[in-house]
Amino acid sequence: MGKEDWKTVNVKKRLLDEVERIQRTDEAKKAGITNVAQFVDLALREKLEKFERRRFEHINMHEDHVKILDNKLERAGRIVSVYFRDTKAWCEYCDEHMCVHIQYAWEIPDVREILSARKLAPPPSRVF
Ligand SMILES: [Zn+2]
């Protein structure tokens, strides 16, 4: 990664001291964490995943589409339908063949199983 791929944030010294202490433990080493940046990266990813999970809810699965509640849309959230016809997925809300709703649909185990059986290609993994 080049320098332009990184950004700097300020963290309270006391909090970072605690991270440095934890990072040196056997438990952290077992988890493959060898430096503070790795620890922070992991912690942020976990938090992001938690937030993303809360954003979407799987409502139900129909013959050719899946309904997802997107809590970020409109005031009280909006139900979005993702259609799986032929070999491409299509989101009625975004009018796209690739969007966060399609990515989320693929993350639902039951949906994933059906789509794989239909030989649809999974989307690239989510980029945070
Ligand atoms: Zn969408």
Q: Report how far ligand 1's centroid is from the alpha carbon of 53 (Å).
A: 15
For residue 76, the model assigns a pLDDT of 85
Short-list 57, 61, 27, 62, CA closest to 42: 27
- Res 114: pLDDT: 84
User: In the sheet where 88-91 sits, what is the strand order?
Assistant: 56-61, 65-70, 78-85, 88-91
Domain region containing 23: 10-49
Burial letters for 80-113: b for 16+ Cβ neighbours within 10 Å, e otherwise? bbbbbeeeebbbeeeeeeebbbbbbbbbbeebee
Instruction: Give the pLDDT score at 82.
Output: 95
Residue 71 CA to ligand 1 center (angstroms) comes to 13
User: Which residues touch 91 (CB under 8 Å, ≥6 apart)?
Assistant: 80, 81, 82, 83, 97, 99, 101, 102
Q: Ligand 1 centroid to 101 CA: how many Å?
A: 4
The two structure tokens encoding residue 83: 């259609």
For residue 103, tell me if it sits in a domain.
yes
Q: Say if residue 126's pLDDT is above 70.
A: no
Residue 16 CA to ligand 1 center (angstroms) comes to 38
State the distance from the centre of ligand 1 to the C-alpha of 41, rounded, in angstroms: 27
Q: What confidence score (pLDDT) does residue 125 get?
A: 64
- The reply to whether 69 and 86 lie within a common domain is yes
* 3 located within any domain: no
Does residue 97 carry a pLDDT above 60? yes
Query: With 70 as the cut, is the pLDDT of residue 72 above it?
Result: yes
pLDDT at 73: 93
Task: Say how many domains are in the chain.
Answer: 2
Q: Are residues 72 and 26 in the same domain?
A: no
Q: Are residues 109 and 81 in the same domain?
A: yes
Structure tokens at 3: 């320098």
Average pLDDT, the chain: 87
> Please, which residues have CB less than 5 A from ligand 1, an ion?
91, 93-94, 99, 101
* Tens-place pLDDT, residues 47-69: 888 777 689 999 998 888 999 99
Please tell me whether residues 75 and 43 are part of one structural domain.
Answer: no
Residue 64 and residue 88 in one domain:
yes
Interval between CA 50 and ligand 1 midpoint (Å) = 19
Q: Are residues 112 and 80 in the same domain?
A: yes
Question: Quick one: average pLDDT of 33-55?
Answer: 85
